[in-house]
A and B are shown apart, each in its own frame.
Chain A
Amino acid sequence: MATTTVKTETFVGKRIRRREDPRLITGTATYVEDIQMPGMHYAVIVRSPHAAARIRSINTKQAEAAPGVVSIFTGKDTKGVGAVPCGVVMPDLRVPQHTILATDRVYFVGHPVAVVVARDRYLARDAADLIEVDYEALPAVADPEKALAKGAPAVHPQWPDNVAFTYHQDGGNVDKAFAEADVVVKQRITSQRLVPMAMETRGVVAEWRGADRQLNLYTSTQIPHLVRTLVAGMLGLEENRMRVIAPEVGGGFGSKLNVYAEEALMGYVSMKIQKPVKWIESRRENFTCTIHGRGHVDYYEVAAKRDGTILGIKLKLIQDVGAYHQLLTPLIPQLSVLMMPGIYNTQNIRADIVGVFTNCVPTDAYRGAGRPEATHGIERMVDLLAAELKMDPAEIRFKNFVTKDNFPYATATGLTYDSGDYAAPLKKALDLVGYVKLRQEQADARKQGKYMGIGISTYGEICAIGPSPATPAGGWESATVKIEPSGKVTIMTGTCPHGQGEETTFAQIAADELGVGLDDILVIRGDTAVVQYGIGTFGSRATAVGGTALYYALQDLKAKVKKFGAMLLESEDVSLVGGQVIDNKSGKSKSFQEIAGAAYRALKLPPNTEPGLMATRFWEPPNFTFPFGAHIVVTDIDGETGQIKIRRYVAVDDCGNILNPLIVDGQVHGGVAQGLGQALWEQAVYDDNGQLITGELMDYAVPRAHLMPWIESHHTCTPSPVNPLGVKGVGEAGTIGCSPAVVNSVVDALSPLGVRHIDMPLTPEKIWKILAAKN
């Protein structure tokens, strides 16, 4: 029998390489597309080329006769399947019926119309081309502001104003604040539509076992349990007859925090053909049919005193919804409103959201989900205010920060910030970048006609999502820890990591608590038949909420281990150290194997104690956590070409305690890359007919290695009091802190020309046009 390692070495806080990596670097991991089954068939989905059209007829005859084709299904066949769910409940929310295949009308380019099932993927694709859909094209609208204008085409005929929902929030007395202000700055700020573009597209394998009434659904998702509950409901299948497995998941960034038509559709197909079926999204489909992020037009007003004190903020937020609500669509702009004041001490806010239907793919959560938009808005406005008052952008921030003696801090939007020291990361970042010297250099550069910019953003964000009352589906998380009869430790987490490294960090937590080695521990996730119900991985929650559930399960388990140890040692005074229970008086000890053996053999039991060593906890967080930080970006702009060169990128992030600095660095780098993508290059562009003209990697510019600056990543540490680990979350910080720092830097560089604001992305063409117009 293998022995459990006895360790006094601790693991939390160390740069430990990841335990999930061996399978990933050897090409032996199993993603959805890697799954093969006997008798497996392949599905290809026929999609609308029109943004708005009536379907007159669908002719499938030729396709049915094509080689290898087994079945073709259209909207007529799938009428009995439930609608794709929107998980958000709010007053006056208009929810269009979102059938899994279009019936009489299509609402966006890529709308699924039919599915072809064949015994081979090439044959399925061939047959899909033979399906004839007779469309009557209708006028479409792809821009949310145009959709709100009188006379715009109605996306859904029953709602001619295209309003999907409205939301209003007031805090304090905003009218008084604006009446008393010395200065009011106003700006329209957009946060463009983005394509999440996980490297692995979506994919589903559905395997119906008719005799067992059992549907196994392998899907690339961040939320396997929620997919099971909701897709079983759509299919009219008992939830306990469905097993959802998220195998290796190749990135999500929010795009797989959803329930998609194709997940139910493949379940339906497999049940009909009584065979396993596989559908793998093409990259083109991924661009046109998987949710997009952002899609804001924001009208900001900030009122302030002449000394720079912010008195109040107003925001009119136009959210491009797309044609439907996906799982969380209407919730995302509400997160923006919650973050509206940023980390500044103002109690007067007013926000009005209008969600607008357009003939585009729905928007939903994409890395940061509402918080990057809000941070971009407030951080741009603070710079505009500083420019108006001729103040230094660092100084105006120091002046308005919630100070560190004010925590917990209740915001005007109803949040309670847990802990913070907002000046600390900004001070550190200013020192690291050499701010004073840089400003001198900038003054000299300007005399020579050079464009050099220094941009600051100081952000706060909402992580560890979240307390259940604040979420549509429960905001708790679960963990089970077992000590097996041999003494080895198995963890089952309700989170669903897909790159974030919890197979390592959760093992670090457990190893330290139990005093065993990392190799003694296995972390299992992503299978509803194995793991107790869980919520999943999103909103920088996995460690702060799921890790805490694990921590408490470990405490329960340790108590039970000590009981068995005390029984075996015939002592009442024992402690658990280094993987063994020690009698504090005699110094005698029992190993995990001895204790586990006794607990499962159960010849004798401690009083009021059941056999076995297993503990499960469902942990409900009392609050969100609120990480924060400061990013500073130094840019040089080529006056001839408009090319932006990032000379320095300094990030100082405070995410509370850090369990594994190597992993945290990786999260920051990746987050910054996605923030830079939005700031400089990425934009999902629909033309006036609703065609996505950036529908491929050829036209949509994601960050590549040679475009990225070196990121100088640093930290301050303010532990969260919300959980015993003191962690806050770091998955989205880089993205949230980044884009305003970049735009502030470029605007700063061009400010001698009178430039106040530029909307993202800051392409060289856009900058060149500004330079050409001003010079």
Chain B
Amino acid sequence: MNINLTINGKSYSQDVEPRLLLIHFLRDVAGLTGTHMGCETSLCGACTVELNGKAIKSCSMFTVQANGADIVTIEGLATNGRLDPMQEAFWNEHGLQCGFCTPGMIMASKQILYRNPSPTEDEIRHGLEGNVCRCTGYQHIVNAVKAAAAGAGK
């Protein structure tokens, strides 16, 4: 099937197998390996990307379902070498250790702030329910989202 989609502002027009998962299009076709496969069952969130402004789990979506969509991945956040404020916050607050969940975690965290620019700690934690991190115990991730929210409010 021929599909057209935009990833990080770049257009792709490609023939794909109907069963090709979106994450495999991102990683294998577009060469954007920052999005990680963690569980293949949409339970861990490592594969979270932004599709038409909404955070989705790219391991459980077919590429053909994303036909016509505008997608942003972790590689699309920094502009002209300047980190996105959420990336900067994760760095400052030590919101990552092994880094494998981090791209999905950052995409999910951005989504929390899209929906609610000044979330409480409880709202941040519930916003991250769909993303598993095995290293940090989440506390520094919560701090990072708080810091990004505070920075954006300045």
A585 interface hit (Cβ, 8 Å): no
Query: Which residues of B are found within 8 Å of A25, using beta-carbon distances?
Result: 74, 83, 87, 90-91, 96, 99, 102-103, 106
Q: Is B33 touching A27 in the complex (CB atoms < 8 A)?
A: yes
Contacts A29-B99, A33-B33 given; indicate if A199 touches B91 (C-beta within 8 A): no
Which residue among B17, B20, B136 has the maximum number of chain A CB atoms within 10 Å of its CB?
B136
Q: How far is the CB of B101 from chain A (nearest CB, A)?
A: 5
Which of these binds chain B: A132-140, A440-448, A694-702? Answer: A694-702
Pairwise interchain contact A199-B129, C-beta atoms closer than 8 A: no
Across the interface, B44 reaches (CB within 8 A) one of A21, A199, A669, A671, namely A199
How many angstroms between the C-alpha atoms of A501 and B44 in the bound complex? 23
Contact with A along B14-30 (1 / 0, CB 8 A): 00010110001001000
Contact A27 B134 (CB under 8 A): no
Please determine whether B135 and A17 come into contact, CB atoms closer than 8 angstroms: no
The residues of B that contact A21 with a CB separation of less than 8 Å are 90-91, 96, 99
A253 at the interface (CB under 8 A from B): yes
Residue of A nearest to B43 (CB): A697
Of B50-58, B62-70, B120-128, the stretch lying at the interface with chain A is: B120-128
Measured CB to CB, the closest approach of chain B to A647, in angstroms, equals 14
Interface band, chain B:
35 or more
Question: CB-CB < 8 A to B20: which residues of A?
Answer: 122
Least CB distance from B96 to A in Å reads 6
Q: Known: A27-B35, A31-B36. Contact between A706 and B129, CB under 8 A?
A: yes
Most chain B beta carbons < 10 A, residue from A198, A282, A704: A704
Q: Does chain B have a CB within 8 A of A305?
A: no
Task: Tell me if A248 is interfacial: C-beta within 8 Å of chain B.
Answer: yes
Task: Contact check, B74 vs A283: say whether CB atoms are below 8 A apart.
Answer: no
Task: Check A711 for interface membership: any CB of B closer than 8 A.
Answer: yes
Given A200-B36, A697-B43 in contact, is the A499-B135 Cβ separation under 8 Å? yes
B41 with A251: CB separation less than 8 A: no
Contact A696 B41 (CB under 8 A): yes
- Report the minimum CB–CB distance from A197 to chain B (whole Å): 6
Evaluate contact between A697 and B41: CB separation under 8 angstroms. yes
- CA of A711 to CA of B141 in the docked complex: distance in angstroms? 13
B124 touches A705 (CB 8 A): yes
* B contact patch SS: loop
Judged by a CB distance under 8 angstroms, whether A18 is at the interface is yes
Among A23, A33, A698, contact of B41 (Cβ-Cβ < 8 Å): A698
What's the interface size class on A, roughly? 35 or more
Binary interface encoding of chain B residues 40-51 relative to chain A, with 1 for a CB under 8 A from any of its CBs, else 0: 110110100000
Select which of A23, A122, A666 is within 8 A of B17 by beta carbon. Answer: A122
List A residues 673-708 near B (Cβ within 8 Å): 673-674, 696-698, 702-706, 708
B139 at the interface (CB under 8 A from A): yes
Considering the chains assembled together, what is the distance between the CA atoms of A20 and B96 in angstroms? 10
B119 CB within 8 Å of chain A: no
Q: In the complex, are the beta carbons of A198 and B98 less than 8 A apart?
A: yes
Q: Using known A-B contacts A25-B87, A28-B75, determine if residue A666 contacts B103 with beta carbons closer than 8 Å.
A: no
Report if B131 contacts A (CB, 8 A): yes
A663 with B94, Cβ < 8 A, contacts A708-B137, A708-B139 known: yes
- Check B128–A17 contact: CB distance below 8 A: no
Q: A708 to B125, Cβ gap below 8 A? A: yes
Q: Which residues of A contact B61 (CB under 8 A)?
A: none
1/0 per position for B80-108, CB-CB distance to A under 8 A? 00010001001110101111111100100
B99 pairs with A705, CB closer than 8 A: no
What's the Cα separation between A663 and B140 when bound, in Å? Answer: 10
Chain A hits for B100, CB < 8 A:
31, 198-200, 248, 250-251
Closest to A196 in B: B134
A704-B132 in contact (CB<8A): yes
Chain B CB within 8 A of A26 CB: yes
CB distance from A735 to the nearest CB of B (A): 10
Chain B's closest residue to A698 (CB) is B43
A500 at the binding interface (Cβ < 8 Å): yes
In the complex, A669→B75 CA distance in Å? 28
Q: A29 to B106: give the CA distance in the assembly, Å.
A: 15
Residue B152 CB within 8 A of the other chain = no
When C-beta atoms are compared, the residue in chain A nearest to B106 turns out to be: A25
User: Is there a chain A Cβ closer than 8 Å to B149's Cβ?
Assistant: no
Within residues 213 to 272 of chain A, which ones have a CB less than 8 A from any CB in chain B?
248-251, 253
Residues of B within 8 A of A26 (CB): 34, 74-75, 77-78, 83, 87
CB nearest to A197 among chain B residues: B134
Q: Is residue B150 contacting chain A, with contact meaning CB distance below 8 A?
A: no
Q: Which of B75, B132, B136 has a CB less than 8 Å from the CB of A697?
A: B132
**Residue A498 lies at the interface, judged by CB distance under 8 Å to chain B:** yes
Chain A: CB-nearest residue to B142:
A705
Q: A704: nearest residue on chain B (CB-CB)? A: B129
Top 4 A-B pairs ranked by shortest CB distance?
A27-B34, A250-B100, A24-B99, A669-B137
B interface list, Cβ under 8 A from A: 17, 19-20, 24, 27, 32-41, 43-44, 46, 73-75, 77-78, 83, 87, 90-92, 94, 96-103, 106, 121-122, 124-126, 128-129, 131-142
Given A21-B99, A666-B94, A702-B132, 7 new contacts (CB under 8 A) = A27-B73, A31-B33, A199-B133, A201-B38, A250-B36, A251-B134, A669-B138
15 A–B contacts from the bound complex (CB under 8 Å) = A25-B96, A26-B75, A26-B87, A27-B75, A27-B103, A28-B34, A29-B34, A199-B38, A199-B135, A200-B98, A500-B97, A665-B140, A670-B137, A705-B129, A706-B122
